Structure 1
Amino acid sequence: MHSAADATTGSEPRHWLDTERLRVYPRILLVMYALGVLAYLFTIHDGLDFRGQVVGADFLCFYSAAKLALAGHAPLAWDFSVLLPVQQSVFPAYTGFGWPWFYPPPFLVVVAPLALLPYPLALAVFLGASTAAWWLLLRRTIARPGAALLVATFPGLWMCVAQGQNGLLTAALAAGSILTLRRRPAVSGVLLGLLIIKPHLAVLFA
């Protein structure tokens, strides 16, 4: 049994979420996330998971639009009646709804090269590069040791990866723009300009 004195420092009660727990809990969560990801990967068959959903569903929209762009039909990416058959050609086993393309033209330029790769590799490159950029800038933004690891346990991060979203890419662009604002304003402006892939974010940070 712990005495009341064990839970106090001086006259102030010690919070249960102390420094030691903040070091240990994120590591436990990351292990659990990793095990969950591995278990999920084992359920994939013909590009569909155990729910019958496309792996990296949002990215399928990016990838299909990119295929149209490389074929010389970029404007048709905004025509869902044309985009949907492209998505179905990537995953013939999927019979659910497709994903329309709502992004501005600059984002099509960003994702177009990925259509040169098979879907699984393109998804891995997109998520890997986005996550690496986000992590690098996160480490530069948060100076306190261990804090970046704590942020990495945020469930939204893992949902973003699971759905093949571009949230980590836009977060990295925003963080990079802020970090370089004083020392390299030109670079900061370029990164801010790249946020036009999500216009509402470009306006927010402008």
Structure 2
Amino acid sequence: MGGQYRITGDKYPRMRPPRRRGRLAFLGVACVTALGVAGWGTVQLIDVFTGGEKDTASGAEATCPATTKVSPAARTRALPAPGKITVNVYNATARTGLAKQTADELKKRGFHIGDVGNATKQYDKKIKGAGLLLGPASALNTSLPVVATQLAGAERRTDTTRKGEAVDLILGDGFKNLSARADADKAVAELTAPVAAPTVKKKDC
């Protein structure tokens, strides 16, 4: 044969282009992958819109647990009873007998009374409000709140250098009377009442 198909030597020309098997295999894998992704996406969309209410294994409807509350464990504030608190009563006013009168009333209400008398020079005639409650740092969230129920508006202070557990009640110029006993007793009861622990909820599905 002549022309471009002329045979020379011992090699024969190919009459058609070689098959591109690699490209066909790649296209087949790509089609299978695309179909798989499309199918998976369809399943996900169905779950989103149906809420996944059916079990894929058994076909039964799955129950979603309702929000439930765990029974709270009650706890009690670690506040001492009035009988466990020693109160020193000092008079920082010009009125005589005020410290003893107030101390006697506190004793009737169950408090243990310590020293009774006139305030020191540091506080004498210098308390403008109803009174000042002074105690050690450890009394800030224990004894001081309990004694404070007996005199509304009393200022509270702590002294880190102070020793002992006693609380000072220093009566000021604005003092008239202790809080009514019924109101004070109610306030003490509220302070020492059990407090429910935070409610724990199960997460909704």
Q: Same fold (TM over 0.5)?
A: no
TM-score relative to the length of structure 1? 0.19
TM-score, L = length of structure 2: 0.19
- Structure possessing the higher relative contact order (Cα contacts under 8 Å, 6 or more residues apart): 2
Higher-strand-fraction structure: 2
